[in-house]
Amino acid sequence: MTNRTRILTGITTTGTPHLGNYAGAIRPAILASRDSNADSFYFLADYHALIKCDDPLRIQRSRLEIAATWLAGGLDVDRVTFYRQSDIPEIPELTWLLTCVAAKGLLNRAHAYKASVDKNVETGEDPDAGITMGLYSYPVLMAADILMFNAHKVPVGRDQIQHVEMARDIGQRFNHLFGQGKEFFTMPEALIEESVATLPGLDGRKMSKSYDNTIPLFSSAKEMKDAISRIVTDSKAPGEAKDPDNSHLFTLFTAFATPAQADEFRSELLGGLGWGEAKNRLFQLLDNELGEARDKYHQLIERPADLEDILQIGAKKARAVATPFLNELREAVGLRSFVNQVQVAATTKKKAAKAARFVSFREDDGSFRFRLLAADGEQLLLSRNFADGKTAGQVTKQLQSGEPLDVRNDDLSFSVWLQGECVGDSPAFADAAARDAAIAALRVALTPAQD
């Protein structure tokens, strides 16, 4: 079990990345990924995009642009897991499992849903006019994104804090109903960079594609300068003191400046710096900050096949975590195999005889495997691959037959053998004492129950 902090974040693929996306989510997430104590998962939230956009070409283009943005921004795919949400089939399945325990009253309180209802009421429409189940159940899909990988920290904008809190509520509900003393889901925490969690757009409202007030992140220098020139300011002339604390332009500047640069800019505004020159200062700052990344971004856009390869590698890494975990969750809710459904000694009345259990599953290549889990959920053994479920079932029966176990140590792990063949391996343990304790637990778990 890793002690590293798992960090997960994503961005909806419905448009061209803008400064708000970068400052509020992408940049802090990339910085966090460089922490040696971080285990980082980053994804393109393209299922979420379908809630907001019904233009397939826009979805397709945006996925490409978002992928290139992460990489141009400095994401090291050798250190992190970088994937598309739609490449992980376990996520929609987990969404359904969570939907079945999510309270309707909880979803009724979601900000996006309530805002849509309030808008309809104000205009005299039916309260649910134009509201899809995608919008309504959006928080459950986001909960699945987070809980699938048991993220500890979720970098989000301030407007997304509620969704992280809802993920906690739903995860706790699942743990309570199906955990039987085991905490399947880690409770996530929202991670916010207070000063730039939400950036203002050209008109002063939150920078958002839906408001059409964004500054594209990697547009050409000319396009960026033109966008900055449209930032709304007050009517004070050059020479008149400006109020930095009520200036959207100053807020944007401080999101990318060093503390010393921000202090100098504040002093200049208070000293009467004209808005035209102030906008030019912001452009120069952003051009210096983003110029190199902009060049890399456009190089990546011209090589979509390379991006696809990177994402497929990331999907494989993500599914290596998601597939076995979902098998555990399926087992927990009762979606179990009829062929290889085995539990060890669950009927004894002895206090110490809590049940261990076998959990069977099928790999993508069609082979069958099983895990032996202790009563507390610790994995004691992971089987080798078997051609069919019948063979795997026969092995589990042999292991429980009461015959002497052939357990062989391998440094800090061990393997189990039957008739000269290795049938399963343990995980690696922290030390020899932990390994030996696991072997003892294995022997107890496989001892036939006494009447």
| 38/172 same-domain check | yes
Determine whether the annotation assigns residue 451 to a binding site: no
Range of 438's domain? Answer: 336-445
Task: Give every CB contact of residue 126 below 8 A, 6+ residues apart in sequence.
Answer: 120
What pLDDT score does 341 carry?
52
Q: How far is the C-alpha of 259 from the C-alpha of 248, rounded, in Å?
A: 17
| 230/142 same-domain check | no
pLDDT of residue 343 exceeding 90: no
Q: How far is the C-alpha of 189 from the C-alpha of 174, rounded, in Å?
A: 18
| 64/162 same-domain check | yes
| 271/418 same-domain check | no
| 184/91 same-domain check | yes
In a domain, 123, yes or no: no
pLDDT of residue 10 exceeding 90: no
Percent residues over pLDDT 90 in the chain: 64
Under DSSP, the state recorded for 355 is P
Question: Where residue 73 sits, what CATH number does that domain have?
Answer: 3.40.50.620
Mean pLDDT of 24-46: 86
Determine whether the annotation assigns residue 290 to a binding site: no
Determine whether the annotation assigns residue 319 to a binding site: no
| 35/92 same-domain check | yes
In terms of pLDDT, which residue wins out, 356 or 279? Answer: 279
Of 291, 311, 344, which residue constitutes the final position of a domain? 291
> Which amino acid would we find at residue 297?
Y
Question: Where residue 268 sits, what CATH number does that domain have?
Answer: 1.10.240.10
In a domain, 358, yes or no: yes
Task: Give every CB contact of residue 142 below 8 A, 6+ residues apart in sequence.
Answer: 48, 163, 166, 167
Determine whether the annotation assigns residue 209 to a binding site: yes
| 369/389 same-domain check | yes
Each as own residue / partner, the long-range contacts of residues 240-244 (CB below 8 Å, 24 or more positions apart, any chain) are: 240/272, 241/269, 241/270, 241/271, 241/272, 242/269, 242/270, 242/272, 242/273, 242/275, 242/278, 243/269, 244/269, 244/270
Confidence of residue 441 (pLDDT cuts 50, 70, 90): confident
Determine whether the annotation assigns residue 114 to a binding site: no
In a domain, 201, yes or no: no
Confidence of residue 136 (pLDDT cuts 50, 70, 90): very high
In a domain, 206, yes or no: no
Determine whether the annotation assigns residue 207 to a binding site: yes
| 432/378 same-domain check | yes
CB distance 445 to 407 below 8 Å: no
Confidence of residue 349 (pLDDT cuts 50, 70, 90): very low
In a domain, 389, yes or no: yes
| 47/153 same-domain check | yes
Determine whether the annotation assigns residue 157 to a binding site: yes
In a domain, 111, yes or no: no
What pLDDT score does 300 carry?
96
Confidence of residue 390 (pLDDT cuts 50, 70, 90): confident
Q: How far is the C-alpha of 26 from the C-alpha of 133, rounded, in Å?
A: 28
CB distance 156 to 191 below 8 Å: yes
Q: Render pLDDT for 159-209 as a digit per residue (tens, 0 to 9).
A: 889 999 999 999 999 999 999 888 999 999 998 766 555 799 999 998 887
Question: Where residue 406 sits, what CATH number does that domain have?
Answer: 2.30.29.80
Determine whether the annotation assigns residue 402 to a binding site: no
Total number of domains constituting the chain = 3
Determine whether the annotation assigns residue 142 to a binding site: no
Determine whether the annotation assigns residue 210 to a binding site: yes
Q: Render pLDDT for 86-120 as a digit per residue (tens, 0 to 9).
A: 999 999 999 999 999 999 999 999 999 999 999 99
Determine whether the annotation assigns residue 137 to a binding site: no
Determine whether the annotation assigns residue 202 to a binding site: no
In a domain, 117, yes or no: no
| 284/361 same-domain check | no
Mean pLDDT of 72-89: 95
In a domain, 261, yes or no: yes
Q: What is the mean pLDDT of the chain?
A: 89
pLDDT of residue 141 exceeding 90: yes
What pLDDT score does 194 carry?
62
Determine whether the annotation assigns residue 145 to a binding site: yes
| 98/38 same-domain check | yes
Determine whether the annotation assigns residue 198 to a binding site: no
Determine whether the annotation assigns residue 158 to a binding site: yes
pLDDT of residue 267 exceeding 90: yes
Q: How far is the C-alpha of 252 from the C-alpha of 55, rounded, in Å?
A: 31
| 177/285 same-domain check | no
